[in-house]
Structure 1
């Protein structure tokens, strides 16, 4: 398993694909897609770096916490509660409790246009969804049933077949 420093350095390198035009005022917008120009998305933006740092710092505190369906503490946490924690602790934004409610927020984002902080949703069964947060370079953080809070690759054979959609959250909705 990657340690937090290695992951941070690796993802910072991946930030080279992010926009320099992103606003650094997180009070005005958190994941506002209108602030990221697709034409200039090949340079790192300060807001992207700050957002990623907050997400990875949070991960460093929660890495390895076991999965517990319905859990929302360090004694055990499920995927949607972990997303609530990431957004609340890192950005003071409140997300709904369930992945079924979280998927209704924000705007849909193409897999090729993901940026750090986008929510990634997977359809794990006919009625169940799993959620994680994208950190760059094809990786996302989530509370895994098997290993707890961890980082996984989108192109992992399991996740690749279960991928459903990604959502970019606007702060006015949270």
Structure 2
């Protein structure tokens, strides 16, 4: 590529790979089709449509009118995402972070992957939950930002991430 004049920076390949990973472009094939686990991608897609459009509502998301209006808290958002992909994580009406901590199987934090449930000690042990997106990012519904993308490497989230990771879909 470099000999042909397309890439003159010797770090071009590494920079390109970094951009692909940072923006999650590695989940698409050459035709723009999602590769990987369709259930996980459907769950994430369901939640991503609410990013920046849904404020945090403590106790929200436990009835259909709340869901239709995008009124969630962290645990009901996770429940909604997976229910949208055909995976039931217990009854919607009673979902909490403490009920979700028992779903799926535990995974070491060093092995977490896209779609895993990750827990934080913000409101007591396992008091907050999100869905891991990859590259240190996660989908969550926080009391200060509503449905948003968090960063595990930020000062705030790195302090509260407790290492509890659950895999509900392989």
TM-score by length of 1: 0.68
Unaligned segments of structure 1, at least 5 residues: 1-5, 17-44
User: Pick from 100, 106, 117: which aligns with 1:108?
Assistant: 106
Aligned pairs for 1:26-65 (under 5 A) are 46-48=35-37, 50-64=38-52, 65=54
Q: Tell me the SS of whatever aligns to 1:66.
A: coil
Distance of aligned partners of 1:58 and 1:7 in 2 relative to their CA distance in 1, 3 Å threshold: farther
Contact 1:67/1:148, CA 8 A, preserved across alignment: yes
Which of the residues 117, 128, 132 maps onto 1:134? 132
Q: CA deviation at 1:54?
A: 1.9
Residue 89 of structure 2 is aligned to residue 95 of structure 1? yes
Contact 1:52–1:135 under 8 Å retained in 2: no
Q: CA deviation at 1:12?
A: 2.9
Q: Distance in 2 between matches of 1:146 and 1:160?
A: 17
1:71-82 map, 5 Å: 71-72=60-61, 73=66, 74-82=69-77
Partner of residue 11, structure 1: 24
The Cα of 1:161 is off from its aligned counterpart by: 1.1
TM-score by length of structure 2 reads: 0.69
Pick the structure with greater CA Rg: 2
Matched, 1:122 2:120: yes
C-alpha displacement of 1:60: 3.5
1:168 matches 2:167: yes
**Structure 2: 5+ residue stretches without partners:** 1-18, 29-33
Q: 1:61: Cα distance to partner?
A: 2.0
For the aligned residue pairs, the C-alpha RMSD in angstroms reads 2.8
Shift of 1:124: 0.9
